[in-house]
Amino acid sequence: MADQDAQSQVGSEPPALSVLRWDELPEGPAVVLLDQTRLPSEEVELVCADVPALVRAIQSLAVRGAPLLGIAGGYGVALAAARGDDVARAAELLGQARPTAVNLGYGARRVARAHGAAVGQGAGPGAASAVALAEARALHREDAEASGRMAQYGLRLLAELLPGSAHRLLTHCNTGALVSGGEGTAFAVALGAHREGRLGRLWVDETRPLLQGARLTAYEAARHGLPYSLLTDNAAGSLFAAGEVDAVLIGADRIAADGSVANKVGSYPLAVLAKYHHVPFVVVAPTTTIDLDTVDGASIVVEQRSALEVTEITSPQIISAGSGGFRPAAAPVGAKAYNPAFDITPPELVTAIVTEEGVISPVTGVGLAELCARSSQV
Ligand code: MRU
């Protein structure tokens, strides 16, 4: 911890990460991703030249996190259009690649709709595919802008909720530039606090089993020189008991109409701990993550992932690169495992939801519906 503290400093900003971009390669158009399964060991790009390749990248979590999945879905549909593939089928395949993050289907459908409208107005394949790409780019840009506004609202909320100036914030999973067109959701708020000299410590849950906290959030925190410490997910309880957590900040994959929040598995236990210890539990998510068509938490489809992610020491995709086929075992061969990717936190455990359109607190269905109605009028 001493070394990290010595390194933590405000002022020196790292170059922005190139997490996802559209490229016109000599062999054709492509969606180029920073392969998140290889971080933090290697910064390697993954070229997706067609929709099946992008679907595989989404399912292996080479690209992940709700807002970025929306952007990937949008560019994926633009890619299908540019290749002359079936756009409606591409939108369906991409939208179904993972079930929980609502942004994925939103991004894919939005770009497919723009393409369909252009075709409906008589545009030829080239012009319609240009419209699809422009729509994907607009979605990308809007997400970056939303990220900046969420950080501002989140910082204002923290100033109201927390009396001291050296906030000790606990976060789970990864919510930074690696999930966003901008600097992220919850992480962007922590980063803003750091820039204002108000971050005492960022506690980073390692986030079993795929280690998004240890591999990705710690990577982003280190790049920005944040004072951070990793903890195993199971250590959060004793950290709260020791009075070391001032607030929990997390993102969301889907927020149902009643305010229930689906986020990375392990979020719900943190909300219970926060309630018990009278610590604010704050969710930071763009309005594209709010799904008024899903009535409540019980209606959210939670992705179930392979048992291997639990029964092997590191996830299959992490060791797939150059491990010589050796898979260290965490459990006897054939062990069954319960491996939901997400859990649901009921609204009564959530202190506030921070969006780019403002803050909802207390979290109620009425508050969410009003915020969504306001934002759709803008
Ligand atoms: O399975 P992942 O890594 O895609 O899960 C990501 C998360 O749960 C994030 O916390 C969530 O997408 C919010 S990021 C804005």
- pLDDT of 6 above 50: no
Pairing mode, strands 228-231 and 199-205: parallel
The pTM is what?
Answer: 0.94
Ligand 1 geometric centre to CA of 251 (Å): 7
DSSP string, 304-342: B--THHHHBSS-HHHHTTTSTT---BSS-TT-----BSE
Q: Are 324 and 235 in contact (CB under 8 A)?
A: no
pLDDT for the residue 312: 85
Atom of ligand 1 nearest to the CA of 210: 3
Q: Are 256 and 296 in contact (CB under 8 A)?
A: yes
pLDDT for the residue 81: 98
Beta strands in the chain (DSSP E): 20-25, 28-34, 45-48, 167-171, 199-205, 228-231, 247-250, 254-256, 261-264, 281-284, 290-291, 342-345, 352-355, 358-360
* Mutation to probe ligand 1, out of 39, 170, 233, 264 (largest number of atoms < 8 A from CB): 264
Angle 82-87-92 from CA coordinates, rounded to 5°: 135
| 3-class secondary structure, 24 | strand
Question: Quick one: which of 18, 90, 15 has its CA closest to 51?
Answer: 90
**CA dist 40 → 56, 66, 129 (Å):** 20, 20, 35
CA–CA separation, 249 vs 309, rounded Å? 25
CA–CA separation, 240 vs 228, rounded Å? 16
- Average pLDDT, whole number, for the chain? 93
Nearest CA to ligand 1 atom 9: 65
Burial classification of residue 329, based on how many CB atoms lie within 10 Å of its CB (0-12 exposed, 13-18 middle, 19 or more buried)? exposed
**Residue matched to tokens 């150059």:** 322
CA atoms within 13 A on the CB side of 354: 28
pLDDT digits (tens, 9 = 90+) for 269-294: 999 999 999 999 999 999 999 999 99
Pairing mode, strands 342-345 and 261-264: antiparallel
pLDDT for the residue 112: 98
Atom of ligand 1 nearest to the CA of 212: 3
Estimate to the nearest angstrom the gap between the alpha carbon of 165 and the chain centroid.
27
Residue 98 in marked binding region: yes
Question: Quick one: which of 9, 11, 31 has its CA closest to 19?
Answer: 31
Lowest-confidence segment of 3-7, 15-19, 355-359 by average pLDDT: 3-7
- pLDDT of 221 above 50: yes
CA–CA separation, 182 vs 180, rounded Å? 5
Q: Are 133 and 24 in contact (CB under 8 A)?
A: no
pLDDT for the residue 329: 83
How close are the terminal C-alpha atoms of the chain, in Å?
Answer: 46
- What is the side-by-side order of every strand in the sheet holding 199-205? 228-231, 199-205, 167-171, 247-250, 281-284, 352-355, 358-360
pLDDT for the residue 7: 47
Ligand 1 geometric centre to CA of 264 (Å): 6
Residue numbers annotated as active site: 253
pLDDT for the residue 1: 36
Residue 212 in marked binding region: yes
What would the two tokens of residue 109 be?
């459908």
Portion of the chain with pLDDT greater than 70, in percent: 93
Q: Which residues are near ligand 1 (CB < 6 Å)?
A: 61, 64-67, 101, 173, 175, 179, 185, 212, 251-253, 263-264, 341
ipTM of the shown complex: 0.98
Atom of ligand 1 nearest to the CA of 303: 1
Confidence band for 309, pLDDT divided at 50, 70 and 90: very high
- Average pLDDT (10-31) is 91
Ligand 1 geometric centre to CA of 328 (Å): 26
Residue 336 in marked binding region: no
**Residue matched to tokens 């679907």:** 55
Those residues whose C-beta lies under 8 Å from the C-beta of residue 142, and which sit 6 or more positions away, are 181
pLDDT for the residue 245: 98
Ligand 1 geometric centre to CA of 187 (Å): 12
Q: Amino acid identity, residue 187?
A: F
